[in-house]
Amino acid sequence: MNRWLFMLPLVVFGVGGLGLYALFVSQADDASFRENLLPELIGFCLEGFFLVGLFTFVQQLRDYYHRREQWLSLRSVLRDFLSHLNLAFLAPDAEPASTSDLESQPLIVHQLMELLSDAELDVETLVSLKRVAISTLPLARDLINIAAQLSTRHMRCWIAIVASIDSLAEADTREQAELPLNELLVRLTEFDSLKL
Amino acid sequence: MHKDYSSEGLLAFLREATLAGRMAPALARSRRAAARVLFAELTEGEAADLRQLSIDALKSRLLNIQGDGLRREVVELYAERLQGALDDYFRFVEAPDSFVSKAVPQAASPRDKQSTKTREERALETVRLSAPGQRPDVIPIPLNKDRVVYLHGIPADLTPKEARKISRVVEALADDAEVDK
């Protein structure tokens, strides 16, 4: 359902209230509040405007948090990939990124993409990433329906991510591993950029 | 003279090591951060005397309790840093006057994309990368060039008696005509 449709009652009550108020002011005199239905109608419009507005706001907020939770569920599946990459590029004696940052900060994915374009991962990290891909693949596939609940674009993007994980799980050479890994990060960037 | 092997002593040593010029500031800082995280699960005995501490046991305790918040690979990294800190601290307690911090071997860092690799390095990479795809619970037995038999579900604590039982079942499946020839 289009979220602008929620705004329609607000507009009706708002415009109606303002129109009635303008009408009331235009013919106001000393006896305006007696035997006159206009003030009552204006009050009704004000009540409607605030109540509908409040309920719409609460509903939208709850909807947003629910969608955000679903998004975080999907994002947390890919945490181990980002974690291994983060440690692979970690400077000596530097602190690794926090778990919550890895799960929710798109900026980290951008940084990892830049680092990956300039440098080559050591074989141990590639093996770890392949292991993560093998263990994550069934779960990532199961979560396609969660992505579908967010939007069609989220679902398409998630299916592409699953395909990258699948390719990484099948990789037997460095080239076969690096290509899907890059694709995974690019698709994850796209996934992050989609509006909730 | 009383020698302090407690966790508090280690943290104080790491705090003062930088000021005294015994250790690089970044190294001391990273070790302190690692120690703080891992010491959250110390027993009283371990906290009082770090010589009793088994880092592997501490790692598994942390992963069991904080598995949700602390990632396995980060625990491994912190454990390495704590091990380095403990080695240095014990040497410092034993001989404070002659103490010099040991350089820790760093993990292999990502190489430049332009760097070339030998054929052996490439072959080794391929072998290492193809290994995780093979299931550890499936044992391949090559019979000849085109025939491989896979054993699955062999328990880790298989006894010789059980192995003989399995072999008898396999022998019963063999074609007797081959033996007569």
List chain A pLDDT tens, one digit each, 196 residues. Answer: 566 777 788 888 889 989 988 988 887 776 776 777 888 888 999 898 888 888 888 988 999 999 999 999 999 999 999 999 999 999 888 999 988 889 889 999 999 999 988 888 888 899 999 999 999 999 999 999 999 999 999 999 999 999 999 999 988 888 889 999 999 999 999 999 998 8
What span, in angstroms and rounded, lies between the C-alpha atoms of B105 and A90? 15
For position B105, what pLDDT does the model report? 59
Question: What is the structure's pLDDT at A70?
Answer: 95
Task: Please give the residue of chain A at the shortest CA–CA distance from B105.
Answer: A92
pLDDT at A112: 92
Q: How far is CA A4 from CA A1, A7, A11, A130, B1, in A?
A: 9, 5, 10, 45, 78
pLDDT at B152: 84
Q: What is the pLDDT of residue A138?
A: 94
Nearest to A173 among B26, B69, B126 (CB): B126
3-state secondary structure of B112: strand
Check residue A75 and give its pLDDT: 94
Interface contact A79, partner B, CB < 8 A: yes
Q: What is the largest CA-CA distance in chain A?
A: 90
Quick: pLDDT tens for B17-73.
888 888 888 899 999 999 999 998 888 888 888 888 889 888 888 887 654 567 888
Q: Write out chain A residues lying below 8 Å of B110, CB-based.
A: 88-89, 115, 119-122, 125
Predicted local confidence at residue B97, as pLDDT? 79
Residue of B180, B16, B6 lying closest to B99 (CA atoms): B16
Structure tokens at A105: 């900060």
Best mutation target among B128, B134, B135, B138 (most A Cβ atoms within 10 Å) is: B128
| Among the partner residues B73, B108, B132, nearest to A130 by beta-carbon distance | B132
Find the angle CA(A66)-CA(A68)-CA(A73) to the nearest 5 degrees.
100
pLDDT at A5: 76
How close does chain B come to A148, measured CA to CA in Å? 26
- Give yes or no for a contact between B41 and B65, defined as CB atoms under 8 angstroms apart: yes
Per-residue tokens: A157: 């993007």
Q: What per-residue confidence (pLDDT) applies to A161?
A: 96
Predicted local confidence at residue A165, as pLDDT? 96
If one compares B111 and B170, the residue with the highest pLDDT of the two is: B170
Q: B110 versus B12: which is more confidently predicted?
A: B12
What is the CA B133 to chain-centroid distance, rounded?
20
CB contact under 8 A, A172 and B132: no
Whether B114 shows a pLDDT value over 60: the answer reads no
Mean pLDDT of B102-124: 66
Contacts of residue B157, Cβ cutoff 8 Å, sequence gap at least 6: none
Task: Considering only the beta carbons, identify the residue of B29, B110, B130 that sits closest to A121.
Answer: B110
Give the gap in angstroms from C-alpha B115 to the nearest C-alpha of chain A. 9
pLDDT at A63: 92
> Which tens digit of pLDDT belongs to each residue from B132-174?
666 667 787 888 877 888 888 888 888 999 999 999 999 998 8
Q: Using the predicted structure, report yes or no on whether residue B107 has a pLDDT greater than 60.
A: no
CB neighbours of residue B74 within 10 Å? 21
Closest CA to A195 of A69, A58, A71: A71
Q: Is B130 on the interface with A (CB under 8 A)?
A: yes
pLDDT value for A87: 93
* pLDDT for res B115: 62
Q: What share of chain A is helix, strand, coil (3-state, %, to 5)?
A: 80, 0, 20
